[in-house]
Chains A and B, each alone.
Chain A
Amino acid sequence: MATLARVMIGLAAAVVLRAADGRALLEQRCAGCHNATARKSGLDVTSRAALLRGGDRGPAIDAANPRASLLYKAITHGAKPHMPLGLPKLSVDEIAAVEAWIAGPVDAVPALAVSVSKHWAFAAPVRPKLPEVSDAEWRRNPVDAFVMAQLNAKGLTPLARANPRTLLRRVYLDLTGVPPTPAELQAFLADPSPAAYERTVDRLLASTRYGERWGRHWMDIWRYSDWYGWRAGKDVRNSARHLWRWRDWIVESLNHDKGYDRMVMEMLAGDELAPDDPDTVRATGYLARSFSKYDRHGWMQDAVDHTAMAFLGVTLKCARCHDHKYDPFTQKEYFQFRAFFEPYQVRTDRVPGETDIDKNGVSRVYDAEPQAQTFLLVRGDVQSPDKEHPLEAAVPRWFGAALPPVAPVSLPLAAYYPDHRGFVHRDLVKRGREAVEQAEKSLAEARTKLAAEPGRKNEDAVTAAEKGLAAARAELPALEARIEADKARHLEPPAPGADELSEKARRMEREAGILRADENLFRANLELAEALATREAGKPFDEKKVGAAQKRVDAARTALTREAEGYTPVGKVYGTLSSGRRLALARWITGARNPLAARVAVNHIWLRHFGRALVPTVFDFGMNGRPASHPELLDWLATELMSSGWSMKHIHRLLVTSRSYQSASSTGVEGHPNASVDPENIHLWRMNARRMEAEAVRDSVLEVAGELDPAMGGEEIDAGKAAESRRRSIYLQHTPDVPVPFLKAFDGANPAECYERTESVVPHQALAMANSPASRTMAARLASRLQEPDSGAFIDAAFEAVLGRPATQEETEAGRRFLHAQAELHAAKPEAGLRARENFVHVLFNHNDFVTIR
């Protein structure tokens, strides 16, 4: 029977499932109930041995006679119970696969084992020798040597260098996300030499706009999302509040050319690497982003799946429910990888100047449970953890490189007790003083009101305010006493007199508490009386209001009588140890022997300069991924990245100063000879024309109009205010629930997962650009800035500003006709000529070549 199945594979591989799939099917469809732990009817289908042993009804399979097996009868509905119970029957093909599997031991698939050891991506890159290239222009930059060698081999001749205008616009948009100004363009046209070009590249890489442009790219890959959930209720259900601090860290790190390895380490383990440095710790926003309030498993899943895809370029995610189908990752290895993340949780630490962490703070991760255990979820089912076998953190064995030792990290006081930092004390005391001032003010107001309008109600208000002031006045010294007690306690060894200070703090806190409770009780009683009064007045009785007031009365009474044990520390004290698991993982990923980290990184950079990645499956370098178009170039770049101290700016410079990058993108003809050899331009005989990403479109409209706000960083701008904002798009709220319509139309990043942007061309984009108020407003701004009196000169200036080139004769003529006709149309309006010019600029914003990088 097994032989038959194999023959069938040969005949119709596309439709017939293999016997090996039979086992996978059992795993997928039956093991939810029939596994080693659940054992419905005593049956476990997860191994051949268990099936032979069988369940309550006896052996489930009979290899000699598969069709007589109980299992076969159940899934073919030949006997009751019909399996899978309550779910659709297996298809004919699926049943055939199970039958084939029952017939013979074909679990081991030798073909896989053989090819894994040879799969290039699992061996560390070795720096290849540069190919010999004769053409001087293609010999200066190592990138070109590899490209040219391949072009030669294919008999392809590269296109000429792009014209200086196209080239300058290309490199500006690539490195900064906005086009050059006409003045910058003119300066380059005056000296378009390679040396001048390289100086330009250096200048652009030094510009802070570089960090904003590339920050957005890496935010795609690292899944940046501002927090979401219920924004009006400040209920964070996904990601973390103030995550913009991580975004700012990305932008700053890129601008400082922080090493890629260091960035990865800080994102995965900044809290273990530099526990008392909030600037570093904010990098762990990368992990805080996966937070999910109601779904810890989903949260862990995101952390595992995307860390593997983003930094290692492997789809470890496929091994969550079963061993990976293509790559040599076992399900156990999946959960061992999860163990790196198991201890961590998210918290928000205070920042100077704000005591309310809803308003400001740093969201970061910390190991809440350094000893947290990870269990394999049988069949990926969160209800079936294999609790008998806790898993240690480990990396998949096929990567070769060994995991550095996992060493627990001892945290400093500022890290495990963040509210013990001096600024927090100062801010809290300041808030306490303000509370006293506020209470004094309230009392004064209440007294004034009473003087003007004597009566019971206003008298009560004065009494309440007096009580409030008394409470505030007691709370301030109580706070100070608590701080002193905290300080004494957390000295190493604790200061003499710490106990006395604690007792003093307890007493003062209690006194203040009684005063506050007294105020609360008084106010709650007033509210209750008021609510009850409505009934007496014969008005509709507000049951809710009475209930709430009564609750407050009760709470205040309880507070009055409850004796306190010890004082309340100023803030939460966390654990003093971090597991060190994530730091070990980060060191392993960025270690010199890791085969994938550098390759994956340079591949992403390459994609965003050339429009096509060297390895097209950017998140899958595994055996189901596609091979590299230039394998040696990829490895050379990977080793170059590492040996440059992981300098990304070094790689950018190498790429954009290469001759390959500077090639023209258009042949100017249809049916160029190269196109028949390499229609998809895999070998880079020309540059790829690309459409700007959503953010570049919006930013460029603002920039060209001279309206782009250069302010950097800070809190995200609410999506509802995006249309009016002049800030760069990277600073707009970015969440899955409320997309910014303009960015959405241009294929803005999906915050849940975006390893590569889509480049669609759809009518929604036309409508967004043609009809959004912003593009028209910006057109008007630019039109009024272009002062050229002559319409021909104006047309040229507008073309230069928007498209980076002068108008052709033909275009100028069409433009003049338009300006003339449009001015007539607007004749009744003031400044009809200017209105016509605004319309003209608006047309250019909609021009295909405005959103195209050629």
Chain B
Amino acid sequence: MQNLFPRRARREFLADMGMGFTGLALGCLLNGEGIARAATTGWRPPDGQPHFRPRAKRVIWLFMIGGASQMETFDPKPALNRYAGKSIGETPYSGTLTNPLVKRNLREVIEGLHKVHPKIFPMQVGFSKRGQSGLDVSDWFPHVGGCADDLAVVRSLWTTDNNHGAQMQFHTGRHVLEGQFPTIGSWIHYGLGSLNDNLPQFVVLGDPIDTCCGGLGAHGASYLGPEHAGVQLQADPANPLTFGKPGEGIGREQQEREFALLGEFNRMAAAAYPDDPAMRARIKSYELAFRMQTSVPDAMRFDEESEEVRRLYGLDQEVTQPFGRLCLAARRMAEQGVRFVQVFHGQNGGAGKWDAHSKLKKGHTELCAQVDKPVSGLLKDLKQRGMLDDTIVAWVTEFGRTPGAQGSDGRDHHPYGFTVWLAGGGIKGGTVHGATDELGFHAVENRHYVTDIHATILHQLGLDPRRLEVPGRKRLDIDFGEPIRAIIA
């Protein structure tokens, strides 16, 4: 604490206190100067500087809730069509089911709840080679396919659990049953200083995952403290921030005067307590809060965007408008200096809409259509603004889906191999990394646990997660992950 508020002359101190609430530019307030007083002293939080030269400044994280199918998005498996309707045992790949990988990393909470579905279910959609790189993209993603040369597709993710607690796991590296841990966004918030003092640095858009599967913990900060947790904003100019508006019938002028009097009172009291750093922090926190009331809604003002841009995100279409608004808001936030924007798609009050146990074709057709245009719009818009160079866009999901059919027309949860992609921020576009086996069952080449995605992103931001570790909070190697160097440009 002493270090945050070096001793200074009383006059200077009071002069610094003499800031009003309106129309004032302020110095850096966030990360560095928020005060957290806990038991551990003698150890200091990060200074907000990257540990090494960063390639990216910010992240937009698009999470598809429920488990998007790898073989209907970015990992085509012709063998599924060839052997459709046959049992896996009847194919040349019968070894799939006896592969030690079936048990190696799997943790079954309820034993036998999720069975292997042996009857092969053909791909429900065709694939096309897209871009100069000839990347395989499902025909359900015609627009994202147009950005193929920006994507680095990782087809060899694995996770440990066959249930939707894996949603939390994708954000913390730990399954929901193991408790709450800091999420990728909170680590970044914790590690890096602010790019804009008027806005929170970790923003959450869209309806977060359900309480079944981690709830708010999937954008929480756990032991890093609540100041590093994601701030939920609605991509709705009417109400973008919890307690973000003064309430019914409270005019701007009324509140401004209240804040002004408050500032005056606090500064008068502060003169009596020159040795109290919390007092000064509180004064500043009120100033930021006051600005957030306007800066946050401002960031949500889509009417400032040109018709062309709005169309790019699909705001003109009913199907694409909801997610388009989130993607556009994400870009506006990123543009204004928000470090980490976590965008959710597919909340349905349960396991998530991507959870295609039945009617996969219908479901995925609809869901892909909801996100395809907005995601491609986001990539193109970032690119045309020159922001894709230092913004990472991640399209991720908690696990994949079974090569075998569940029922007549669905696919079950599948932790053994699944696909995500990254783009921008120094990521090598037009790349495919890792591979699943012929059936899309096991990740067999360049296997990556979910935290390798975290490690890759942190690496691009210039952060070494091991240097962020908090005393008394031992992390395991698997929590840190390893950067996937093959997809780094």
Whether the Cβ atoms of A738 and B10 lie closer than 8 Å is no
In the complex, A738→B216 CA distance in Å?
8
- Among the stretches A441-449, A571-579, A764-772, the one at the interface with B is A764-772
* B119 CB → nearest A CB, Å: 22
Whether the Cβ atoms of A770 and B211 lie closer than 8 Å is no
Which residues of chain B from 263 to 287 have any CB-CB distance to chain A below 8 Å in the complex?
264-266, 268-270, 272-276, 278-279, 281-283, 285-286
Task: Please list 24 pairs of residues, one from A and one from B, whose beta carbons are closer than 8 Å in the complex, sorted by A's number.
Answer: A230-B212, A295-B109, A318-B474, A617-B39, A617-B472, A668-B274, A669-B10, A669-B274, A675-B275, A737-B216, A741-B242, A747-B225, A760-B34, A760-B225, A760-B227, A761-B35, A761-B285, A765-B285, A767-B243, A771-B244, A811-B268, A825-B251, A839-B258, A843-B261
Partner of B231, one of A29, A620, A764, A843: A764
In the complex, A148→B115 CA distance in Å?
69
Instruction: Tell whether A772 pairs with B243 under 8 Å between CB atoms, given A613-B39, A756-B39, A843-B261.
Output: yes
Task: Judge whether A292 is part of the interface by a CB distance below 8 angstroms.
Answer: yes
* B293 CB → nearest A CB, Å: 7
In the complex, A139→B335 CA distance in Å?
64
Whether the Cβ atoms of B35 and A760 lie closer than 8 Å is yes
* B180 CB → nearest A CB, Å: 6
* B478 CB → nearest A CB, Å: 8
- Among the stretches A176-184, A635-643, A846-854, the one at the interface with B is A846-854
Task: Judge whether A691 is part of the interface by a CB distance below 8 angstroms.
Answer: yes
Partner of A88, one of B13, B36, B200, B477: B477
* A736 surroundings in chain B (CB, below 8 A): 180, 215, 217
Instruction: Tell whether A767 pairs with B34 under 8 Å between CB atoms, given A667-B275, A672-B275, A843-B261.
Output: no
Whether the Cβ atoms of B289 and A766 lie closer than 8 Å is yes
* B258 surroundings in chain A (CB, below 8 A): 770, 839, 842-843, 846
Task: Judge whether B179 is part of the interface by a CB distance below 8 angstroms.
Answer: yes
Task: Judge whether B447 is part of the interface by a CB distance below 8 angstroms.
Answer: yes
Task: Judge whether A671 is part of the interface by a CB distance below 8 angstroms.
Answer: yes
Whether the Cβ atoms of A298 and B13 lie closer than 8 Å is no
Name the CB-closest residue of B to A620: B472
Which residues of chain B from 230 to 280 have any CB-CB distance to chain A below 8 Å in the complex?
231, 241-247, 250-251, 253-255, 257-259, 261-262, 264-266, 268-270, 272-276, 278-279
Task: Judge whether A745 is part of the interface by a CB distance below 8 angstroms.
Answer: yes
* B41 surroundings in chain A (CB, below 8 A): 616, 680
Task: Judge whether A37 is part of the interface by a CB distance below 8 angstroms.
Answer: no
Whether the Cβ atoms of B226 and A849 lie closer than 8 Å is no
In the complex, A276→B446 CA distance in Å?
61
* B474 surroundings in chain A (CB, below 8 A): 318
Whether the Cβ atoms of B257 and A86 lie closer than 8 Å is no
List 7 other contacts, CB 8 Å, given A669-B10, A766-B285, A808-B268: A680-B1, A737-B215, A737-B217, A745-B243, A761-B282, A771-B244, A822-B257
In the complex, A744→B243 CA distance in Å?
12
Instruction: Tell whether A763 pairs with B285 under 8 Å between CB atoms, given A228-B211, A679-B2.
Output: yes
Instruction: Tell whether A767 pairs with B275 under 8 Å between CB atoms, given A230-B211, A759-B36.
Output: no
In the complex, A815→B242 CA distance in Å?
29
Task: Judge whether A714 is part of the interface by a CB distance below 8 angstroms.
Answer: no
* B275 surroundings in chain A (CB, below 8 A): 666-670, 672, 675
Instruction: Tell whether A294 pairs with B110 under 8 Å between CB atoms, given A613-B39, A821-B257.
Output: yes
Name the CB-closest residue of A to B212: A230
In the complex, A764→B242 CA distance in Å?
8
Whether the Cβ atoms of A670 and B10 lie closer than 8 Å is yes
Closest 8 CB pairs of A and B: A766-B289, A763-B289, A761-B281, A767-B243, A737-B211, A771-B243, A670-B274, A763-B288
Q: How many residues of A contact B (CB 8 A)?
A: 79
* B202 CB → nearest A CB, Å: 12
* A854 surroundings in chain B (CB, below 8 A): 273
Whether the Cβ atoms of B226 and A762 lie closer than 8 Å is yes
Whether the Cβ atoms of B34 and A776 lie closer than 8 Å is no
Whether the Cβ atoms of A767 and B293 lie closer than 8 Å is yes
* B352 CB → nearest A CB, Å: 15
Whether the Cβ atoms of A762 and B34 lie closer than 8 Å is yes
Task: Judge whether B26 is part of the interface by a CB distance below 8 angstroms.
Answer: no
Name the CB-closest residue of B to A839: B258
* B1 surroundings in chain A (CB, below 8 A): 680
* A846 surroundings in chain B (CB, below 8 A): 258, 262, 286
Q: Most chain-A CB neighbours within 10 Å: which of B8, B273, B476, B482?
A: B273
Task: Judge whether B385 is part of the interface by a CB distance below 8 angstroms.
Answer: no
In the complex, A590→B241 CA distance in Å?
49
* A768 surroundings in chain B (CB, below 8 A): 242-243
Whether the Cβ atoms of B180 and A825 lie closer than 8 Å is no
Q: Most chain-B CB neighbours within 10 Å: which of A88, A668, A738?
A: A88
Task: Judge whether A253 is part of the interface by a CB distance below 8 angstroms.
Answer: no
Mask: chain B, 197-229; 1 = CB below 8 Å from A; 0 = not: 000100000000001100111000010011100
Q: How many residues of B contact A (CB 8 A)?
A: 80
Whether the Cβ atoms of A773 and B37 lie closer than 8 Å is no
Which residues of chain B from 428 to 445 have any CB-CB distance to chain A below 8 Å in the complex?
none
Task: Judge whether B375 is part of the interface by a CB distance below 8 angstroms.
Answer: no
Task: Judge whether B38 is part of the interface by a CB distance below 8 angstroms.
Answer: yes
Partner of A758, one of B36, B447, B476: B36
In the complex, A738→B37 CA distance in Å?
25
Task: Judge whether B318 is part of the interface by a CB distance below 8 angstroms.
Answer: no
In the complex, A231→B226 CA distance in Å?
25
Mask: chain B, 105-130; 1 = CB below 8 Å from A; 0 = not: 00001100000000000000000000
Task: Judge whether B178 is part of the interface by a CB distance below 8 angstroms.
Answer: yes
In the complex, A322→B472 CA distance in Å?
17
Whether the Cβ atoms of A848 and B279 lie closer than 8 Å is yes
Task: Judge whether B467 is part of the interface by a CB distance below 8 angstroms.
Answer: no
Instruction: Tell whether A618 pairs with B39 under 8 Å between CB atoms, given A666-B276, A843-B262.
Output: yes
Q: Most chain-A CB neighbours within 10 Å: which of B109, B179, B262, B288?
A: B262
* B40 surroundings in chain A (CB, below 8 A): 616
Instruction: Tell whether A756 pairs with B104 under 8 Å between CB atoms, given A294-B177, A847-B266.
Output: no
Whether the Cβ atoms of A739 and B285 lie closer than 8 Å is no
Which residues of chain A from 50 to 100 have any CB-CB distance to chain B below 8 Å in the complex?
86-88
Whether the Cβ atoms of B36 and A849 lie closer than 8 Å is no
* B178 surroundings in chain A (CB, below 8 A): 298
In the complex, A671→B266 CA distance in Å?
21
* B252 CB → nearest A CB, Å: 11
Name the CB-closest residue of A to B279: A848
Name the CB-closest residue of A to B255: A770
Partner of A86, one of B104, B215, B276: B104
Mask: chain A, 714-744; 1 = CB below 8 Å from B; 0 = not: 0000000000000000000000111101101
Name the CB-closest residue of A to B42: A626
Whether the Cβ atoms of B216 and A88 lie closer than 8 Å is no
Instruction: Tell whether A689 pairs with B262 under 8 Å between CB atoms, given A294-B110, A617-B39.
Output: no
Whether the Cβ atoms of A670 and B13 lie closer than 8 Å is yes
Partner of A814, one of B38, B245, B265: B265
Whether the Cβ atoms of B247 and A776 lie closer than 8 Å is yes
* A839 surroundings in chain B (CB, below 8 A): 254, 257-258
* B404 CB → nearest A CB, Å: 23
Whether the Cβ atoms of A848 and B283 lie closer than 8 Å is yes
* B222 surroundings in chain A (CB, below 8 A): 750
Whether the Cβ atoms of B243 and A758 lie closer than 8 Å is no
Mask: chain B, 147-178; 1 = CB below 8 Å from A; 0 = not: 00000000000000000000000000000011
Task: Judge whether A156 is part of the interface by a CB distance below 8 angstroms.
Answer: no
* B273 surroundings in chain A (CB, below 8 A): 666, 668, 689, 854
Whether the Cβ atoms of A752 and B179 lie closer than 8 Å is yes
Task: Judge whether A810 is part of the interface by a CB distance below 8 angstroms.
Answer: yes
* A238 CB → nearest B CB, Å: 10
Task: Judge whether A197 is part of the interface by a CB distance below 8 angstroms.
Answer: no
Name the CB-closest residue of A to B270: A848
Instruction: Tell whether A689 pairs with B278 under 8 Å between CB atoms, given A737-B216, A847-B269.
Output: yes
Which residues of chain A from 619 to 677 have any CB-CB distance to chain B below 8 Å in the complex?
620, 666-672, 675
Name the CB-closest residue of B to A85: B104
* B110 surroundings in chain A (CB, below 8 A): 294
Which residues of chain A from 774 to 822 have any CB-CB distance to chain B below 8 Å in the complex?
776, 808, 810-811, 814-815, 818, 821-822
